[in-house]
Amino acid sequence: MTRPAGDSGERWILHVDMDAFFASVEQLDEPALRGKPVLVGHDGRRGVVTAASYEAREFGCHSAQPMAVAKRQCPHAIVRPGRFARYRELSEAMFEILHAVTPVVEPLSIDEAFLDVTGSQRLFGAPPTIARRIKDRIAGELGLTASVGVAANKFLAKLASDWEKPDGLTVIEPAATLTRLAPLPIGRMWGVGPAQERRLRAVGIGCFGDLQRMTQEDAERILGSGGAHFWRLARGADSRRVVRDSRARSIGHEQTFGIDVESRDHLRGVLLRQTEHVAERLRRAGLRARTVSIKVRFGDFQTIARSVTLRQATDRTDALWPATRGLFDAWAKTSFVPVRLIGVSTSNMASEPPAQLELFPDEAAIRGRKIDATTDAIHARFGRGSIGRGVRTSRGRGSGPSGS
Integer Cα distance of 295 and 203 in angstroms: 41
- Kindly tell me the number of DSSP H helices and DSSP E strands found in the chain: 16, 12
Based on its alpha-carbon atoms, the radius of gyration of the chain, rounded to whole angstroms, reads: 24
Q: Which residue numbers are catalytic?
A: 112
Instruction: Tell me, yes or no, whether 168 and 187 share the same domain.
Output: no
Which of these three, 155, 173, 191, is where a domain ends?
173
Q: Is 208 helix (H, G, I), strand (E, B) or coil?
A: helix
Integer Cα distance of 61 and 54 in angstroms: 9
Segments of 34-132 assigned E as strands: 38-41, 49-52, 78-80, 105-109, 112-116
Confidence at residue 248, expressed as pLDDT on a 0 to 100 scale: 59
Give residue 80's domain range: 10-173
Confidence at residue 4, expressed as pLDDT on a 0 to 100 scale: 44
pLDDT in tens, the chain (404 residues): 444 443 445 899 999 999 999 999 999 999 999 999 999 998 877 788 999 999 999 999 998 899 999 999 999 999 999 998 899 899 999 999 999 999 899 988 889 999 999 999 999 999 999 999 999 999 999 999 999 999 999 999 999 999 999 999 999 999 999 999 999 999 998 878 788 888 899 999 999 999 999 999 999 998 887 888 899 999 999 998 998 765 557 788 989 888 999 999 999 999 999 999 999 888 877 788 889 999 999 888 788 889 898 888 889 999 999 999 999 999 998 878 899 999 999 988 775 444 333 433 455 655 666 666 676 666 565 554 545 555 544 444 443 443 33
Establish if 241 belongs to a structural domain.
no
- Sheet containing 13-18: give its strands across: 105-109, 112-116, 13-18, 146-151, 169-171
Angle at 271 between CA 291 and CA 380, to 5 degrees: 90
Instruction: Tell me, yes or no, whether 224 and 98 share the same domain.
Output: no
Indicate the number of domains in the chain.
3
Which of these three, 173, 202, 218, is where a domain ends?
173
Backbone angles phi, psi at 185, to 5 degrees: -60, 145
Confidence at residue 149, expressed as pLDDT on a 0 to 100 scale: 98
Instruction: Tell me, yes or no, whether 259 and 359 share the same domain.
Output: yes
Which of these three, 173, 191, 224, is where a domain ends?
173
Confidence at residue 355, expressed as pLDDT on a 0 to 100 scale: 36
Confidence at residue 336, expressed as pLDDT on a 0 to 100 scale: 82
Establish if 355 belongs to a structural domain.
yes
Instruction: Tell me, yes or no, whether 266 and 221 share the same domain.
Output: no
- Give the CATH number of the domain where residue 202 resides: 1.10.150.20
Instruction: Tell me, yes or no, whether 163 and 311 share the same domain.
Output: no
Instruction: Tell me, yes or no, whether 257 and 379 share the same domain.
Output: yes
Instruction: Tell me, yes or no, whether 50 and 169 share the same domain.
Output: yes
Distances (CA, A) of 243 to 113, 154, 194: 10, 11, 28
Instruction: Tell me, yes or no, whether 122 and 78 share the same domain.
Output: yes
To the nearest 10°, report the CA torsion of 178, 184, 187, 189. Answer: -30
Establish if 242 belongs to a structural domain.
no
Indicate yes or no: pTM above 0.75. Answer: no
Instruction: Tell me, yes or no, whether 326 and 203 share the same domain.
Output: no
Instruction: Tell me, yes or no, whether 288 and 227 share the same domain.
Output: no
Establish if 3 belongs to a structural domain.
no
Instruction: Tell me, yes or no, whether 206 and 166 share the same domain.
Output: no
Confidence at residue 11, expressed as pLDDT on a 0 to 100 scale: 92
Q: Is 285 helix (H, G, I), strand (E, B) or coil?
A: helix
Q: Are 149 and 170 in contact (CB under 8 A)?
A: yes
Confidence at residue 327, expressed as pLDDT on a 0 to 100 scale: 94
Establish if 240 belongs to a structural domain.
no
Distances (CA, A) of 139 to 125, 127, 135, 146: 20, 18, 6, 8
